[in-house]
Amino acid sequence: MTSIPKLRTPSIAPEVSGVVAVGAALAVGELAAVPVSPDASPYFAVGSTVVDSTPEAVREWAIETFGTSDKVALYVGMGVIIALLAAASGYLERRRPPLGSVIIAVFGVLGVLAAVNRPGASWTYAIPSIIAGVVGVVVLRILLAQLGPNRSREAAVVDDEPEPAARAPLSRRFVLTAAGIAAAAVAVGVVGRRMLADTADTVADRARLLLPKPAVPAPPIPPGAELDLSGATPFVTDNADFYRIDTALQVPTLTTSEWRLRIHGDVDKEVTLSWDDLLAMPMTERVVTLACVSNDVGGDLVGNASWLGVPMRAVLDLAGVRPGADMLLSTSVDGWTCGTPISALTDGRDALLAVGMNGSPLPIEHGYPVRQVVPGLYGYVSATKWVVDWEITRFSDAKAYWTTRGWSALGPIKMASRFDRPADGTEHPAGEVIIAGTAWAQHTGIERVEVRVDQGPWQPAELTTEYSIDTWRQWRFPWQATKGEHTLECRAIDKLGRPQIERYQSPAPDGASGLDDRGYTIT
């Protein structure tokens, strides 16, 4: 066996380890903040907190001294302080373990505290700092382990002078490991920072945006459309509660000035729309219930929102669809594709190229700045978010993302009804128990909802006021519950008199069918 060649020990190996470890931690913290928020980055959360809590006098002094580069000065200053503390943590971890690890862990805790206290932060803002702290400690230990045993520890206790022996011979492995980790950290940090900067631009763009008033506003929601019962589903789903489904690992970030929609294929003339072009067109506001094909019986991958946008038909007319074309193949900025029947965009229903959701610009994860919403079709064949390209084509010529993965090319939403309250498996005293739920039959409308107890006769539930055939409808069923274990089922009947399909089918390939049920114990 050949031994690893020993190099002469530079006296700064433990300090270098500390700096590399903390650098790697901060770099990973940047990347980990990407799916959360720019404000969740430990470095910037702490930096912003320092800025926000700086006394006015100090701030004025900083602005006077550094001018517009006051923030740069702050971050450089922070960098220097962090580097010194990082070096100290390496030194201490070598001589008094685990003191260095403790310092890094304290950094992590400060990051967590700063991040979760940023405006609008949720608990998820803590994650990047926690990951960063763990990475920092692990890297520090890996690097110091490469230095071999610290033969001076006992000696150091006796004689507090740093001993030459405290500097164990440095292996080539240490140099390679430290350099490798440092290089990886720089790469990870640069990528993370760039992605955060893109997100920050889009966040700022969205915050500045003022949406136009609709030329055609949505009819007001009658008070009777919503049940006033705890545990019942609100008629309009808050943006923060709206289900999110997409293939994007990293939410696409696109500003309004970057956005374009190119319309091509079987058209009379190719057209490219800019944001200003789109906003110059009259806007329509519509309340539409959106559902995911993956929503299983009783599931909650369905939501109802007020959308503001330009009718898709008006946009198609700018280019002119040639006869024979039957599919709109839309593509998002991240390359996801979706095939929508042109008939569903031109038959008079309120298909929108939407820019607003419940009175605000689209949330970034719901497609900012522009997405599609088509009543009656599952999201995978209609609701392209971050949409940038429309190709007019034919179903016989093109296949979209999910169709190539075995899902049906056409995806009309199947009628469904579900229980919302009380929760499954709960206990209630005998007597009246108010059961409530939701039902939808988009673009046909709900005529009736029925409930049966223990496979008995179907009994009518009370329906809330209908808003439109494109929105879900809440229902309630005052049940005279008797002692024992009971199973309740619900079903909807649409305006064409068709009952919901009772036979269970799982979501693939074209949406689930079957009856939702709940079990209750009545005492």
Ligand X SMILES: Nc1nc2c(c(=O)[nH]1)N[C@H]1C(S)=C(S)[C@@H](COP(=O)(O)O)O[C@H]1N2
Q: Catalog residues that contact ligand X under the rule CB under 6 A.
A: 242-247, 290, 292, 332, 336, 366, 379-380, 383-386
Report the residue number, 319 or 357, with the smaller CB distance to Mo ion: 357
Interface positions, 90-149, toward Mo ion (CB under 5 A)? none
| Residue 247 binds: one of Mo ion, ligand X, none (C-beta under 5 to 8 A by kind) | ligand X
Interface positions, 237-276, toward Mo ion (CB under 5 A)? 245
- Give the 3-state DSSP-derived string for 354-379, with helices as H, strands as E and coil as C: EEEECCEECCHHHCCCCEEECCCECH
CB of 336 to ligand X, least distance (A): 4
CB of 242 to ligand X, least distance (A): 6
| Residue 520 binds: one of ligand X, Mo ion, none (C-beta under 5 to 8 A by kind) | none
| Residue 385 binds: one of Mo ion, ligand X, none (C-beta under 5 to 8 A by kind) | ligand X
Report the residue number, 292 or 512, with the smaller CB distance to Mo ion: 292
Element of type H or E holding 434: strand 431-440
CB of 471 to Mo ion, least distance (A): 18
| Residue 131 binds: one of Mo ion, ligand X, none (C-beta under 5 to 8 A by kind) | none
Report the residue number, 377 or 449, with the smaller CB distance to Mo ion: 377
| Residue 332 binds: one of Mo ion, ligand X, none (C-beta under 5 to 8 A by kind) | ligand X
CB of 358 to ligand X, least distance (A): 12
Q: Is residue 508 a contact residue for Mo ion (CB under 5 A)?
A: no
The residue written with tokens 């992590």 in the block is: 108
Report the residue number, 114 or 297, with the smaller CB distance to Mo ion: 297
| Residue 19 binds: one of Mo ion, ligand X, none (C-beta under 5 to 8 A by kind) | none
Beta bridge partners of 479: 433
Report the residue number, 405 or 483, with the smaller CB distance to ligand X: 405
CB 332 within 8 A of CB 386: yes
Q: Give, in order, the Cα–Cα distances in Å from 243 to each of 250, 291, 300.
A: 17, 9, 8
Residue span 197-236 as binding mask against Mo ion, x where in contact by CB under 5 A, dash where not: ----------------------------------------
Cβ-Cβ contacts under 8 Å for 6 (sequence gap 6 or more) = 169, 170, 171
| Residue 472 binds: one of ligand X, Mo ion, none (C-beta under 5 to 8 A by kind) | none
Report the residue number, 30 or 391, with the smaller CB distance to ligand X: 391
CB of 306 to ligand X, least distance (A): 14
Q: Which stretch binds Mo ion (CB under 5 A): 41-49, 123-131, 193-201, 372-380?
A: 372-380
- Report the candidate in 18, 10, 11, 72 with the shortest Cα–Cα distance to residue 47: 72
Cβ-Cβ contacts under 8 Å for 152 (sequence gap 6 or more) = 95, 163, 165, 166, 167
Query: 516-522 and 427-428 as β-strands: parallel, antiparallel, unpaired?
Result: parallel
* Alpha helices (runs of H) in 67-98, residue ranges in sequence order: 70-95
CB of 498 to ligand X, least distance (A): 24
- Report the candidate in 520, 308, 336 with the shortest Cα–Cα distance to residue 428: 520
Q: How far apart are the C-alpha atoms of 197 and 216, rounded to whole Å?
A: 37
| Residue 279 binds: one of ligand X, Mo ion, none (C-beta under 5 to 8 A by kind) | none
CB of 73 to ligand X, least distance (A): 41
How many whole angstroms from its chain centre is CA 411? Answer: 24
CB 156 within 8 A of CB 96: no
Q: Report helix, strand and coil shares of the chain as percent, to nearest 5.
A: 40, 25, 40
Q: How far apart are the C-alpha atoms of 456 and 5, rounded to whole Å?
A: 83
| Residue 94 binds: one of Mo ion, ligand X, none (C-beta under 5 to 8 A by kind) | none
CB of 310 to ligand X, least distance (A): 18
DSSP secondary structure string, 380-405?
GGT--SSEEEEEEE-TTT---TTGGG
CB of 347 to ligand X, least distance (A): 21
Q: What angle do CA 270, 273, 279 make, to 5 degrees?
A: 145
The only residue of 379, 411, 412, 514 in contact with Mo ion, by rule CB under 5 A: 379
Element of type H or E holding 138: helix 127-146
Residues that bind Mo ion (CB under 5 A): 245, 292-293, 379-380
